[in-house]
Structures are given as structure tokens and as C-alpha cells.
Structure 1
């Protein structure tokens, strides 16, 4: 992606960001907002189902170049597999409403998971954006980590390279990986809040 195209994408994201509605702002260190959603296999999922487990929420949109950066490189899939293999619950959330980029019904979402060899615990469909509004999700990818005691431990970007360039992954500091490693080691999360970057979640008016 050349600099001109990236600049246009960044400008568009910035303009759209200011157009988003007023959203909840859950606080790190406080109980994570409860939610109920249906996954791509028709199962109703509640946050309470995972009491005693660490949960990752990943907002995603397959048409977003920032999301494609992480999936096209295999970075997101590797992170999902690494941590789900260790008992972490990883929930990918699709909050794009019908008619907007990234919208997917259950069949398409399952196809994307298979085609991309993704490894989340489940993919949640949130077209009415109830989960997104509860968490104040602004962009894709927007990442959240919930401790086993239900407290929000991290909210923000996946890493410190707010670009759509795959090459930037080489030297990126992955906030999510670091936070999960610290939690596993019984340490406090050193970086709890960062500014998320990506394509703006298009909220219904």
C-alpha cells in the first residue's frame, strides 16, 4: 500500500471516528460489561459462561485493510491459536450492520474462519451492535481482555504500529500478547489502555 492510499484511509477513518455516536466507555480495572450474543453456529453466548477464564474480544471486519494486515500475514491466527491452546477464550465479534463493509451472516462468517484458518473460540454476530455499544468498540481491530474474575484488564489496539502495512508487524509491540503473557505469569498488566486503530465501526443511527 503506497503512502497516498494509506493517507486517504487514515483520513477517512479519522473523519468517521468523529461521526460515531456516544458510546459506553468501560474502565479497565472495573467489571467488564456483560453481554449476550449468538455465535455463527446458533449458540447463545453470555460473558458469564466464561467465569474463571480469561476472555479476549476482537472486533473484526474482513474488508478492512487494517484487519487484512493481521489476517493476511497470519499474525492474528497465530495469536488466536497460541492462546486458545492455553485455555484462553477468544471471541471474534462482527458488528458491521447489513449493507456495511464487513457484514457477514453465519454462513459467510464460518467460511471466512475456514478460509483464513482462523482459530477463535467462537465468532459472535452483533449486527444490532449491542455488544459493540456496551464496550465502546470504535474500530476493527479493537481488542479487549477480561480477567478470569470478570474484570477488564486491557482495552485498545492490538499493537503499536497503527498502519495497514504488513511489513510493520516485524518490529511491532503486540499489546495483547504481552498482556496475556503477564496475566498468565500472575503479573499485573503493564499496559492497560492504548488508542485503538483501524477501520471505524459503522453504527446504525
Structure 2
């Protein structure tokens, strides 16, 4: 029954986070749960945009994180360079995306941000949705920030320049930047592939693990994964 509920949610989420002419999560294989696209598989034109954005991305694992300045929901500018010397997490955000909602209410974004910011990690959510697109309205972001208990800023990237610079294709899409300003992780928040974990399922929160390893001076064991969720509404 739990699995049926989970699959039902995923099917509904895929429909809810897709707008006309857009792809939602990575292509499904067999069941409703989203799975990574197979190399060489044909892609619809609607799905080509995220791939093109990824190719044009400047951010790469092991390379300096592209600097940016974006306004928060109060219009205050937030500059990445101002946090040099601290570990920074970037979270691509869309309050209208069911995958984001699940991650914040039950999944990998429910407790980890608060736990890590208490340790001194800087956490920044970024909404790269264009004006008029799903989840882009200021009031939606203000409401969701309160409902999800997000104590960290939501930054507005309405032109999508920062999202494209980081190759953000899905919400949530996560990036971890070390104190030297280097990108050390990019991809999914955890191993659930956008779904609710089954009872007893062992879930790996990739971001939490990367932050723990970074704090301990260890090498990052998983540096890159595929993000799952709604397409960023550029």
C-alpha cells in the first residue's frame, strides 16, 4: 500500500510540475518512479533545453564556483563572494514543484538545512523561474518559506543566468561549495529519486554526507549525481 501511494504521488507530481511544452523529471523506466535517462536514448525537443543548459554551464566539480549577486525576497542583494571562507549550499527552489514540497515536508530538505546552518554552513535557495512561470511569484515564495520553516534566504534569479551558470535543470538541484570557493558536489539532495522512501529503506542524503565529509577534512565520496524533480522554469 505504501509503495502504491508513493507511485501515485510521483505520477501526480510529474503531471503537476509540467507545463505545456516542458519535460518534468528524468524519463521514467517501467514504473512511475523517475529514473535516469539512458545514454543515446532519443529525446523530445521539449527535453532538449535542460541538456543545452548543462552543456553551457560554467560550474564544474573541482572548479571555482561562478560568483553571483541576487536579490532576496526583500530585495536585499546577496553576493556569493561575501561567503568566501565558509561552506555554501545552493538549493534550486520552486514552491510550486511537488518534488520540492515533498523534500521540504518529509524528505531530505526537512531537517538538514537547519542542522547544517547551525554548524556554520551558509544555505541559499535560488528560484530561477521566469516571471509568470510556476512558482515564480514573490508571494508564493514568501508563503512557502514560512510554511517550510526556511530560515535561510530565497534568492530570485528571474533571468535564469545563475541557474544556467550552474547547470541547474531540476528542482531541487543541489550544489555544495567548499570554503575555498570550489564546487565539490552537484546533483540530487538524496537517493530517493524524488520519491518518498519506503518504510525501512536506507536513504543516503548526498548533501548531508558531503558536508559531513568536508567538515572532517575527508575527500567527498560522491561528487555528482543526477537531480530529480520538475524542470527549472526558465
TM-score band w.r.t. shorter chain: 0.7 to 0.9
Which deviates further from its counterpart, 49-58 or 127-136? 127-136
Task: Please give the secondary structure, in 2, of the residue aligned with 1:92.
Answer: strand
Tell me, yes or no, if the aligned pair for 2:109 and 2:189 is still in contact at 8 Å: no
Q: Secondary structure at the match of 1:77?
A: coil
In the alignment, is residue 13 of structure 1 matched against residue 25 of structure 2?
A: yes
Q: Which has the larger radius of gyration?
A: 2
Counterparts of 2:73 and 2:199 in 1: how far apart (Å)? 32
Aligned equivalent of 2:233? 202
Contact in 2 for aligned 1:182/1:188 (Cα 8 Å)? yes
Q: Give, in whole Å, the separation in 1 of the partners of 2:171 and 2:165.
A: 16
CA distance in 2 between counterparts of 1:81 and 1:98 reads: 29
Match of 1:163 in 2: 194
* Displacement after TM superposition at 1:192 (Å): 0.5
Alignment match of 1:150 (pick from 161, 170, 181): 181
Give the direction of change, closer, same or farther, for the CA distance of 1:168–1:161 in structure 2 (3 Å limit). farther
| Change over 3 Å in CA distance of 1:49–1:2 after alignment to 2 | closer
Cα distance in 2 between the residues matched to 1:6 and 1:82: 27
Look up the SS of the partner of 1:70 in the other structure: helix
Tell me which residue corresponds to 1:32: 65
**In the alignment, is residue 119 of structure 1 matched against residue 151 of structure 2?**
yes
Superposition pairs for residues 1-205 of structure 1, below 5 Å?
1=5, 3=7, 6-7=10-11, 9=14, 12-14=24-26, 16-20=46-50, 21-22=52-53, 23-73=56-106, 75-105=108-138, 107-120=139-152, 122-165=153-196, 167=198, 171-203=202-234
* Contact residue 173 and residue 189 of structure 2 kept, 8 A: yes
1-side partners of 2:90 and 2:82: how far apart?
A: 14
TM-score where L is the length of structure 2: 0.78
Q: Residue 24 of structure 1: CA displacement?
A: 0.8
Give deviations 1:181-200, integer Å, cap 9, x for gaps.
00111111111011111111
Question: Gaps (5+ residues) in structure 2?
Answer: 16-22, 27-43
- Superposed CA RMSD in Å reads 2.3
Tell me if the contact between 1:53 and 1:147 (Cα under 8 Å) persists in the aligned partners: yes
